Structure 1
Amino acid sequence: MTDPAVGADRASRAVDQAAPTVVVAGGGTAGHIEPALALADAVKRLRPDAKIVALGTARGLETKLVPERGYPLELIPPVPMPRKPTPELLRLPLKVRDSVKKTREVLERVGADVVVGFGGYVALPAYLAARGRVPIVVHEANKTAGLANKVGARFAARVAVAVPGTPLPNAEVVGIPLRRSITSLDRAALRAEARAHFGLDPDAPTLLVFGGSQGAASINNAISGAAKDFADAGIGVLHAHGPKNTLVVQEFPDKPAYVPVPYLERMDLAYAAADAVLCRSGAMTAAEVSAVGLPAIFVPLPHGNGEQGLNAKPAVDAGAALLVEDADLTAGKVAELVVPLVADKARVAEMSAAAVGLGHREADEVLARIVLEAAAK
């Protein structure tokens, strides 16, 4: 006859070992989606039997990025949060109620064991739908937490943050989950392949430029306006201008190519091709740039709550990056500051070395363990 205590222990282990269903809520922008997908990949490495389901909306980048990574996507109504008093604010409670109801239906249908939110208008209904039913794990990438994560952290099982000092209760600093193709990137080994892939000069100093997934007009204008300065200095440029923007740049024969592209499908190759990068300083971007050891010129988004400036600060303080305000970024500023930097091999090497040790390369698996522990409980 089996000891009841032994039987209970076996039953408990069977529950713990059952394949967990992890629901990730990180829709809208790449800054919310990519950490969610990096976490999903890490969960699958630790628990290959785990089921991953992503929540998103029909209007976000998740409709493209999530299926490309091989994960199922469940669409829910978005809950955008108006920044100012508007008639839309009066309709918000009804929108929240509708979205929470439909999200709860998804959680029940897929058998969610844990909900992991990364902020934004997909996370809020996920937190409210899961409250009291499914364990919640919150991840905040910015030092200044957004409204959704402030709400979710109040009743979350675990709260993970990217940087110290983030004002959320019981926060654990883990960093930002990044794709393994980024954290394991050998830029030198991939350089020849990367430059051939984009049609760049194989030997010239090269600047990578991008302004987020949609591009940035101020960056596009300033960099393209300095095309002759780059050519005269023997510098190649790989410039992602955004899928809704166009960029026409004068060609200079016998000079390194200036290559404009709408979007970078292979960020690993883009990073490998570059000697330095000029970009916005969203939390995800700042973490990736530091992880691959690229000297950076960060141009924070000029509106919002100043979080992009805070994201850039660790790299700037370490000597791995410079910061230029958006209003100061002109073609003249690029010629004066950026061109000499990229052309200076010694300074580039010095800044690249300063990036070593910044960030948390294992953040994906650290967060995955937290999530699996929450699911098991």
Structure 2
Amino acid sequence: MALRIVLAGGGTAGHVNPLLATATCLAQRGHECTVIGTREGLEADLVPAAGFDLRFIPRVPLPRRPSLQFFSLPGRWSKAVDECVDILTGADVLVGFGGYVSTPAYRAAQKLGIPVVIHEQNARPGLANRLGARFARIVALTFTSTPLSALQGTTHVTGLPLRPAIEKLAKERHTEDGRRAARQLAASELGIVPDAPTILITGGSLGALHINEVMAGLARELPPGVQVLHLTGHGKDEPVRRAVDEAGVGDRWHVFDYVTDMEKVLAVADLVVCRSGAGTVAEMTALGLPCIYVPLPIGNGEQRLNAGDHVAAGGAVLIENPDFTADTARTSVYDLIGSAKLEQMAEVSLSLGRVNAAEDLAKLIELTAKTQEED
């Protein structure tokens, strides 16, 4: 039976990407999906581009310190909840992914008696999902170590719903033939040597300036036969290109400011140097990739926690941002590439990966609706 499912979440790619992956899976299973978002978040562009109905509500952040906004909060909150009630009326399930959008949606679902399913992407849960978990039927987690549970329902570790292109690559990489074929095709499209040991350096779409500087400073020491794919981030490529040219390794150190088809560079990587956002960690383990994680040094420390399970199992190494220097990078990156230890780390990473998270979460959503009907 087709369900009417409302999904809430937005603001950042960390919320929007798993939401869209889940919505895509639900739509393929024959369900109608509506997304609640704000005009300010990435969802304003990404959700309509993916073909889903997007309904806007006002953004209502909770003030972190006394301000004039505090006095208008009750009215703005009430308006957001009322708009969520209108959107949710007639829905079978609300699926929340956290962020500003989810909090009023959770409250509206509670008022209407609509069952709530929560997905928490980070190892350290956000405020919205901590509130919603108090009455959620199901809480789904990316990481086993996340301290969040459904107080009146059940808790499941599903992993993070992956973008379809990454999910496809992950399934290919779970067989030797599939891994080799995907690598050969991607290397051909990128114009690089398919069988050379390959280091991928990436700080995400915005880049990571410190990682760029440290690794570019080691360009002269690039081991023979090794190649690098370096994604610098928008507007951060010129200093890296200059360092690579001066080192004379431009034929093996390939610099991009950004790539749209991330699955291509991941298909050829043997070792990844990166930040440790929840989406990154989930993708690295699903793809069976060893990592050197350099967590973002700002925020509440969730990036270090996100990497915890991968590092503890032996599939990755974590180096705090201030400690990531030429000496530590030389030892952790160059000495590791091509080694037997790297192969062991790849096996561990693959064993941790959850490739079918979107489908597993979709099944839990369907189960929640069915249970609601029986009640």
Report the TM range for the smaller structure's normalisation. Answer: 0.7 to 0.9
Determine the C-alpha separation between the residues in 2 that align with 1:105 and 1:246: 47
Determine the C-alpha separation between the residues in 2 that align with 1:90 and 1:333: 50
Determine the C-alpha separation between the residues in 1 that align with 2:201 and 2:281: 13
Question: What 5-or-longer segments of structure 1 have no aligned partner?
Answer: 1-16
Quote the offset at 1:324 in angstroms: 0.6
Aligned residue in 1 for 2:120: 140
Q: Does 1:177 align with 2:161?
A: yes
Aligned residue in 2 for 1:243: 234
SS of residue in 1 equivalent to 2:52: coil
Q: Does 1:114 align with 2:106?
A: no
Quote the offset at 1:189 in angstroms: 1.5
SS of residue in 2 equivalent to 1:176: coil
- One-letter amino acid matched to 1:69: A
Quote the offset at 1:247 in angstroms: 3.8
Alignment of 1:1-377 (within 5 A): 17=1, 19-45=2-28, 47-48=29-30, 50-108=31-89, 111-133=90-112, 134-165=114-145, 166-168=147-149, 169=151, 170-179=154-163, 180-186=167-173, 187-230=179-222, 232-243=223-234, 245-248=236-239, 249-250=241-242, 251=245, 253=248, 256-342=251-337, 344-376=338-370, 377=372
SS of residue in 1 equivalent to 2:265: helix
Aligned residue in 1 for 2:176: none
Identity of aligned residues (%): 42
Quote the offset at 1:245 in angstroms: 4.1
Structure 1 residues 299, 91: closer, same or farther in 2, change over 3 A? Answer: farther
- One-letter amino acid matched to 2:228: V
SS of residue in 2 equivalent to 1:172: strand
Determine the C-alpha separation between the residues in 1 that align with 2:298 and 2:67: 19
> What do you get for the CA RMSD once the two structures are aligned?
2.4
Structure 1 residues 71, 305: closer, same or farther in 2, change over 3 A? Answer: same
Determine the C-alpha separation between the residues in 2 that align with 1:90 and 1:220: 44
Structure 1 length-normalised TM: 0.85
Quote the offset at 1:89 in angstroms: 4.1
SS of residue in 1 equivalent to 2:317: strand
Aligned residue in 2 for 1:5: none
Question: What 5-or-longer segments of structure 2 have no aligned partner?
Answer: 174-178
SS of residue in 2 equivalent to 1:203: coil
Structure 1 residues 270, 80: closer, same or farther in 2, change over 3 A? Answer: farther
Structure 2 length-normalised TM: 0.85
- One-letter amino acid matched to 1:202: P
- One-letter amino acid matched to 1:315: H
Contact 1:200–1:256 (8 Å) recurs in 2: no
Determine the C-alpha separation between the residues in 1 that align with 2:62 and 2:234: 26
Determine the C-alpha separation between the residues in 2 that align with 1:20 and 1:85: 43
Determine the C-alpha separation between the residues in 2 that align with 1:345 and 1:217: 28
